[in-house]
Amino acid sequence: MNGSSRPIWEVTTLLKLNHLSVHYGAIQALKDVNLHVEEGEIVSLIGANGSGKTTTLRTISGLERKSGGEILYQGKDISKTLASEIVKLGISHVPEGRRIFPRMTVFENLEVGAITRKDKENVAKDFQRSFELFPRLLERKNQLAGTLSGGEQQMLAIARGLLARPKLLLLDEPSMGLAPLIVEEIFNIVRDINAAGTTVLLVEQNAHLALKYSNRGYILKNGYIDLEGYSKDLVNNDEVKKAYLGG
C-alpha cells in the first residue's frame, strides 16, 4: 500500500459500472446498471434476447456511448475513451457472431488481434500460446478463416482477442450456434484462459453454462439488473430456475 486514501474496491476491482444508462434514440437500452468485476473472476451476464447484454459489452468497449453514469476501469472513467484506445488499456472484446475476416487466413486474423501492440518480442510467444490453447488453429493457420467450422471460427475469435494481451476479456455469446461438445470444449478453454490470469465478463444466453463456469452472475431484464449474486446461489434461486434454467 502507498498510504493513499483510495477506496478499497479500487485495489482489486478491474471494472465497475455506476448507474450506466444507454439510449438508442428514444429507446432506453440500459437503465441505471450497476455491476463490478474483480480481478481474476469470471462474471456472467444473463438475460433474454433484447435485455441489454450485448449493449453492455459494446458500451464498455467504446462501440456505443453512454447517456448517463460511469464506466470505471482500474478506477478511471473510460466512458469517453475511443474504442481503439480501450483495447490498448487492456480490454478485448470478442463480439457476438464472431466477426472474423473470412477472406483472410487464420494467421492473418490473429495478426489483426496484435495490431495495437508495441512489444513485438512477446507477440510470437502469445501466438504460440494461442496455438497451444487451440491446436486446430495451428493445423489451419494458412486456411481462409471463412472455410472454418463454426466452432473453429469461435476459437479464432477468442484467440484473436487474446492476442491483444487483455487484462479483461469481454466475451459475447460464445456458445451461439455451436454443437454441445464444441461448446463444452470452448468453455473449458475459457476457464483455462481465466486460470492463466485473464479476467472475463461473459454474456451468455445459456444460463446453465454461464453459471457453471462463472464465479458471480448478473441477471439483466429489460435493460436493468434484476438479480445478482454468486453463481452457486443463482443456480438455486427459484426465480432464476423458472425463468432461465427450465426448472
The predicted model scores a pTM of 0.90
Residue in 236, 165, 166, 169 with CA at minimum distance from that of residue 207: 236
Range of the domain at 136: 40-65+82-244
Q: How many CB atoms lie within 10 A of CB 87?
A: 20
**DSSP secondary structure string, 23-46?**
EETTEEEEEEEEEEEETT-EEEEE
- Grid coordinates given for 63: 462501440
pLDDT digits (tens, 9 = 90+) for 75-109: 999 999 999 999 999 999 999 887 899 999 999 99
Average pLDDT (190-196) is 94
Q: Would 205 be classed as within a structural domain?
A: yes
Number of domains, the chain: 1
Residue 71 is assigned to a structural domain of this protein = no
Percent of the chain with pLDDT over 70: 95
Mean of pLDDT over the chain: 91
Is residue 76 in a domain?
no
**Are 218 and 44 spatial neighbours (Cβ–Cβ below 8 Å)?**
yes
Alpha-carbon span 45 to 57, nearest angstrom:
10
Residue 75 resides in a domain:
no
- pLDDT band for 194, please (50, 70, 90 cuts): very high
Res. 6: pLDDT tops 60: no
Asked whether 136 and 216 are in contact (CB, 8 A), the reply is no
Closest Cα partner for 153 from 93, 94, 206? 94
- Average of pLDDT values for 38-49? 95
Residue 73 per-residue DSSP state: E
CATH number assigned to the domain comprising residue 121: 3.40.50.300
- CA–CA dist 71, 28 (Å, integer): 17
Residue 91 lies in a domain: yes
In angstroms, the CA 105 to CA 139 distance is 12
Q: If you average pLDDT over residues 160-181, what whole number do you get?
A: 92
Q: Which residue, chain included where needed, has cell 468453455?
A: 187
- DSSP β-bridge partners for residue 222: none
Residue 220 lies in a domain: yes
Asked if the model's pLDDT at residue 8 lies above 60, the reply is no
Q: Is residue 11 part of a domain?
A: no
Q: Is there a domain that residue 163 lies in?
A: yes
